[in-house]
């Protein structure tokens, strides 16, 4: 497209696009699931939810295996006394802890089927576990409708130690100290086991540039994103949009200004360090083009949050070039660089 070929009044219009990729980072994780005397499940993991929806997706992951509604599961996070998990960063926590919870939930399911089949006082005593299913609030017979035992009843019959199950993705032969070291080694996050896995995106942007003053406004943003399986599409969309907004800040506003006399950052507060606000953000459209990638993670998901950032600044820079004919190669793109 020819630069300066589109305008509306004194505003130059530019279209730009860029591709983006973000690696699938992986660390092992652990989880614990407890069946309470009330017949409810508690999922525990040391990972933190920093607003990314970890509570929700872990409840969903366990619920899919245990045959209960996700809203009935209590998830406990963010305590170092809980089973190990890595940092909530690098777009890796969801993939790591869902794998751990999936493994633990399967162990709990198998344990409950075994208890229902073997406990002498269970209505399902003597029934092969292969003929039993977890559904609703208990264990049910696949072939005989109405023959079941509730989780609460199982909890009252079973030894207490059998109602807590721990699982995860650590190698079984690791010591506790080796597990501590492994989960904290961020250098291993992006080290592929067998395959190098990535999330992908294509970012499209329309900008308007005031020909007289050089001010830049982003008018439209569209992104097609491949993050593999989305554990919760609404949460993924919110993270993508948040990342794209951060990309606008990176492209047009954010800059750490250092005083050359003493090396101090001058704009070290939110009054002077500019970030996008509501009035800076245009219509944003996200398009999910991903498919589950089970070579990347156990559950098929890939990086979500930070993928939204990647490529936005490049797309805006290309759009500014299309609008003005000026190629800016250092960020942020401020009006003094294009006038």
pTM for the whole structure: 0.90
Please provide the CATH number assigned to the domain covering 7-24+193-337: 3.30.365.10
Q: What is the average per-residue pLDDT within 17-36?
A: 95
pLDDT tier, 193 (very low <50, low <70, confident <90, very high otherwise): low
Q: What is the location of CATH 3.30.365.10 in the chain?
A: 7-24+193-337, 30-184
> Is the predicted pLDDT of residue 185 greater than 80, yes or no?
no
> In what helix (H) or strand (E) does residue 49 lie, and over which residues does it extend?
none
- Helix, coil or strand: residue 122: coil
Residue with tokens 């509501």: 278
Q: Give yes or no for residue 32 having a pLDDT over 90.
A: yes
> For domain 30-184, which CATH number applies: 3.40.640.10, 3.30.230.10, 3.30.365.10, 3.40.250.10?
3.30.365.10
Q: What is the mean pLDDT of residues 150-173?
A: 93
Token pair belonging to 45: 């993991």
DSSP 84: P
327, two tokens? 């190629």
255 assigned to active site: no
Please state, in angstroms and rounded to a whole number, the distance separating the CA atoms of residues 36 and 151: 9
Query: What is the C-alpha separation between 81 and 103, in angstroms, rounded?
Result: 20
CA-to-CA distance for 204 and 311, rounded, in angstroms?
9
pLDDT > 70 fraction of the chain, expressed in percent and rounded: 98
Provide the pLDDT for residue 327: 96
CA angle 108, 110, 116 (to 5 degrees): 100
**In the structure, what pLDDT confidence band is assigned to residue 56 with cuts at 50, 70 and 90?**
very high
Alpha-carbon gap, residue 213 to 225, rounded angstroms? 34
Q: How far apart are CA 179 and CA 183, in angstroms?
A: 6
Can you give the pLDDT at residue 188? 63
Distance between the two ends of the chain, CA-based, in angstroms?
Answer: 21
Confidence band, pLDDT 50/70/90 cuts, at residue 190: low
Residue 172: pLDDT above 90? no
Q: How far apart are CA 38 and CA 36, in angstroms?
A: 5
């Amino acid at each position: 497209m020819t630069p300066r070929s589109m305008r509306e009044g004194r505003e130059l219009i530019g279209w730009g696009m860029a591709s983006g990729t973000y690696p699938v980072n992986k660390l092992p994780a652990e989880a614990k699931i407890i069946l309470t005397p009330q017949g409810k499940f508690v999922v525990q993991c040391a990972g933190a939810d920093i607003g990314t929806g970890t509570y929700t997706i872990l409840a969903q992951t366990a619920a899919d295996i245990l045959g209960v509604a996700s809203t009935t599961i209590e998830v406990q996070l963010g305590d170092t006394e809980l089973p190990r998990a890595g940092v909530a960063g690098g777009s890796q926590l969801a993939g790591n802890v869902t794998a751990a919870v999936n493994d633990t939930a399967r162990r709990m399911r198998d344990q409950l089927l075994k208890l229902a089949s073997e406990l002498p006082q269970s209505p399902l005593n003597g029934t092969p576990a292969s003929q039993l299913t977890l559904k609703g609030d208990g264990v049910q017979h696949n072939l005989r409708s109405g023959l079941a035992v509730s989780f609460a009843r199982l909890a009252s019959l079973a030894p207490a130690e059998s109602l807590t199950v721990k699982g995860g993705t650590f190698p079984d032969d690791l010591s506790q100290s080796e597990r501590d070291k492994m989960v904290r080694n961020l250098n291993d996050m992006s080290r592929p086991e067998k395959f190098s896995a990535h999330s992908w995106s294509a970012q499209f942007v329309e900008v308007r540039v005031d020909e007289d003053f050089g001010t830049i406004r982003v008018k439209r943003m569209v992104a097609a994103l491949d993050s593999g399986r989305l554990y919760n599409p609404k949460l993924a969309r919110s993270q993508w949009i948040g990342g794209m907004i951060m990309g606008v800040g990176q492209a047009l506003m954010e800059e750490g200004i250092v005083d050359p006399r003493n090396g101090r950052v001058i704009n070290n507060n939110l009054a002077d360090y500019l970030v996008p606000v509501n009035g800076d953000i245009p219509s944003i459209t996200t398009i999910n083009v991903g498919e589950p990638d089970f070579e990347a993670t156990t559950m098929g998901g890939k990086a979500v949050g930070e993928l939204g950032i990647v490529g936005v600044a490049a797309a805006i820079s290309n759009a500014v070039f299309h609008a003005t004919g000026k190629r800016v190669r250092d960020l942020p793109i401020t009006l003094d660089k294009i006038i």
